[in-house]
Structure 1
Amino acid sequence: MTPERLARLSALRRALHQIPEVSGAEEKTAAMVADYLRRYEPDQLLTGLGGHGIAAVYEGRADGPTVLIRCELDGLPIEELSDQPYRSTHAGRGHLCGHDGHMAMVAALAEDLSANRPARGRAVLLFQPAEETGRGAAAVIADPVFAQIAPDYAFSLHNFPGLPVGQVALCSGPANCASRGMRIKLTGKTSHAAAPQDGVSPAGAIAQLLPALAGLSSGAELGAEFALVTLTHARLGEATFGIAPGSGEVWATLRTVTDTRMERLIAAATAQAEQACAAEGLAFSTGFDDVFDACANHPEAVAVLRAAATAAGCPVQMQDMPQRWSEDFGQFAKQAKTAMFWLGSGTDQPQLHNPDYDFPDAAIPAGTGVFLHTVRHLLG
């Protein structure tokens, strides 16, 4: 990649970095991306997919498969801590997961595909909304317009602090854990704080539930029986001294390698809530948010990515363990051969979602190269 081209893509990345928008609210981001893509004359530019999603379509000269390259539009509800001139201009919002860098790399493909259309099939560059909440991929797939671009293959990446810039990590099989946020709502009866015996307090049940839920975690290794329950929030009544509480909530994030194990973990957590509430005479209900299915790489798609990374000059590190974090990219595996790779963003980088994280522009050429060789491998 020439210095001039890297400077152009870095400018795009930094412009996107300044306007982070949370899941479902990516209007300005989508507009900036669409304006950039129009310069490179896609055969179709689809907007409003599953919310603010965008897809640029480049048709080949002959029949062939549809290859989708996916990145994410959304930022995070975290205040950025930075003195960079391109720091976030949106208070309480930040591109602290590197999605701005992912967008720049996929946007770079538009320039290549505009200059040299695929020999066959078609390439689809998808800028997906709402990845951080786990709702975006499903919303895009459910959009009736998506049927026009339904892929045979789908590929994505995530930057990876801790790996050297430009190094690729890849695994076959499970790639990202399933996870979901579980809310347990407990309902009893309030009473005067001077007569707590006349009410039904959830305090005892919450005291039982916190260690019981945490105790459902099992296995340090990311194998089939791995389960992790992370307690994230608890509430007991209202913030007052005159009322014995009559309601409460416990929130926990459940995490497993497989969807089958997740169903068992949900059942076990629900049973703990039922037992604790029955003992205290409470009613309870459960709800779920940020639902991510397990993400698994297809062996054929992995082979394509491995060859593409080698052709792009990127060192490849094969792994036999998935990542603990979750990804909604797995939704595309229900209809396509999919694979995600991890791209090194530096050994001295802050962790993802840290308030001082900033995607390194130096990683743009490597990610762009892997994606471009992937498209050329399958479509010519």
Structure 2
Amino acid sequence: MESFNPYLDTVIALRKELHQHPEVSGKEVATAKRIVSFLKQFPPDEMITAIGGTGIVAVYNGEKSGKTVLFRCELDALPIDEVNDFEYRSVHKGVSHKCGHDGHMAILCGLAIKFHLKRPDTGTVVLLFQPAEEDGSGAQKILSDSKFKNVKPDYVFALHNLPGYSKNLIVVKNNTFSCAVSSIIIKLKGITAHAGEPEKGINPALAIAAILSAFNNYIQPDITQKKYRIITPVYIQMGEKAYGVSAGAGEIHFTVRSDSSAAMKETTRYVEETAAKIADSYQLEIAMKWIQTFEANENEISAVDLVRKAAHANDFELLEKATPFSWGEDFGLFTQKYKGAMFGIGIGKEMPALHNPDYDFEDEILQTGISIFHHISKQITDANEFNYRT
């Protein structure tokens, strides 16, 4: 592993502080302020704030021109009540860092320290603190912001911590790393009637049942096989608690996921066409809306090779994952636009799963993440290791 960072205790303290004060997607105002205040202690050559909302970009320029590499982390937490009782537990009821974004931010802050102390020899390193990953809107907000237009990275990288995998294990995969995911709201409108005379109205119940059945018959839930796709019902509402009234409207929400962006287009087309056909057959009006869309993370092979080399150089065990992760991650929008890769770092086989109320990030992997990112940058920008002991 690269030489130990004597500032690691500072990075761990920051991680716990961020954990204690979480904010949900799009509301990361105090979180962003804390990151800016930390970065000011280790000033970059340029800092852009309020990008894509609450996002932050820190730029470290080399002495000579060269390639630009971007490393990205996430600012947001989740609307989940924390059950942990340690000293740095969330102070905000119903909000907590249950995906480890506090740890991801701390890793980039540790990387900022390294580049403050020793700039890359050539090229540019960009650290992106992105808002609103959890609702799928943050990456698009960053990429659409005019403040981002001059960044122009040659490579983009991100990591995710992985409960259920050995601590410090580096998990890589060519091509699709995480699935394309999107959610749909389907609203059906019929006509209410007396519950004793339902034939005088149009009740959406049978249409809802038919949609559920059709989607369930279409799924292919084995991710090891081709055309993996899952359509998961997450919410259903119909009518009112009025027992003399036959319902005249209903609503169903689904989360849809596929193992590539191309397969996702096929699946979403099926969902829309099937729901519309069933609604029409029952004489129902239908309205559909897609929300929280995540493009698949399509890793570029040469970028994954840089991660592999960084893992080997630091003597970390490497796992070549055979199948994509089934969860979505909006970094996929970056890997659609730029050459890059997302990879994983194990935090322990017995650790609570992501989004579980008792989850917590493992501080032991902070140095691992910093080392991997820094070694990737060394391969692209000739960044040199700073000797802290001189």
Range into which the TM-score falls when normalised by the shorter chain? over 0.9
Q: Does 1:277 align with 2:279?
A: yes
Aligned to 1:132: 134
Distance 2:147 2:226 in 1: 36
Preserved CA contact (<8 Å) 2:22 2:97: yes
Distance 2:123 2:205 in 1: 61
Supply the AA of the counterpart residue of 1:131. Answer: E
* Aligned mate of 2:193, from 188, 191, 202: 191
Counting only pairs closer than 5 Å after superposition, residues 23-42 of structure 1 correspond to structure 2 as 23-42=25-44
Q: Secondary structure of the equivalent of 2:276?
A: helix
Preserved CA contact (<8 Å) 2:223 2:324: no
How far is the alpha carbon of 1:246 from its aligned partner?
0.9
* Aligned mate of 1:216, from 198, 215, 218: 218
Aligned to 2:387: none
Distance 2:159 2:266 in 1: 29
Distance 1:115 1:174 in 2: 36
Q: Secondary structure of the equivalent of 1:326?
A: coil
Aligned to 2:327: 325
How far is the alpha carbon of 1:192 from its aligned partner?
2.9
Preserved CA contact (<8 Å) 2:298 2:336: no
Supply the AA of the counterpart residue of 1:57. Answer: V
Q: Secondary structure of the equivalent of 1:149?
A: coil
Q: Does 1:225 align with 2:211?
A: no
* Cα shift readout 1:132-190 (whole Å, capped 9, x = no counterpart): 11111111011001012121100000000111111101011111100100111101011
Supply the AA of the counterpart residue of 2:103. Answer: G
Which consecutive residues of structure 2, in runs of 5 or more, have no partner in the other structure?
A: 383-390
Distance 2:30 2:146 in 1: 23
Aligned to 2:294: 292
Aligned to 1:374: 376
Distance 1:242 1:22 in 2: 41
Supply the AA of the counterpart residue of 2:82. Answer: E
Further displaced range: 106-115 or 183-192: 183-192
Distance 1:53 1:228 in 2: 32
Distance 1:349 1:334 in 2: 31
How far is the alpha carbon of 1:19 from its aligned partner?
1.2
* Aligned mate of 1:309, from 298, 303, 311: 311
Q: Does 1:179 align with 2:178?
A: no
Q: Secondary structure of the equivalent of 2:218?
A: coil
Preserved CA contact (<8 Å) 1:214 1:231: no
How far is the alpha carbon of 1:191 from its aligned partner?
2.0
Count of residue correspondences: 380
* Cα shift readout 1:259-296 (whole Å, capped 9, x = no counterpart): 22112111222232123222221111111111011111
Preserved CA contact (<8 Å) 1:216 1:269: no
Supply the AA of the counterpart residue of 1:254. Answer: V
Q: Secondary structure of the equivalent of 1:113?
A: helix
How far is the alpha carbon of 1:2 from its aligned partner?
4.7
RMSD: 1.3
Supply the AA of the counterpart residue of 2:149. Answer: A
Preserved CA contact (<8 Å) 2:8 2:110: no
* Aligned mate of 1:50, from 49, 52, 56: 52
How far is the alpha carbon of 1:219 from its aligned partner?
4.7
Counting only pairs closer than 5 Å after superposition, residues 135-174 of structure 1 correspond to structure 2 as 135-174=137-176
Identity across aligned pairs (percent)?
39
Distance 1:159 1:182 in 2: 28
Aligned to 1:365: 367
Q: Secondary structure of the equivalent of 2:18?
A: helix
Distance 2:249 2:340 in 1: 44
Q: Secondary structure of the equivalent of 2:150?
A: helix
Q: Secondary structure of the equivalent of 2:7?
A: helix
Residues 42 and 121 (structure 1), Cα distance of their counterparts in 2 relative to 1, 3 Å cut: same
Aligned to 2:342: 340
Q: Secondary structure of the equivalent of 1:215?
A: helix
Q: Does 1:77 align with 2:79?
A: yes
Aligned to 1:119: 121
How far is the alpha carbon of 1:318 from its aligned partner?
1.4
* Aligned mate of 1:268, from 267, 270, 276: 270
How far is the alpha carbon of 1:197 from its aligned partner?
2.3
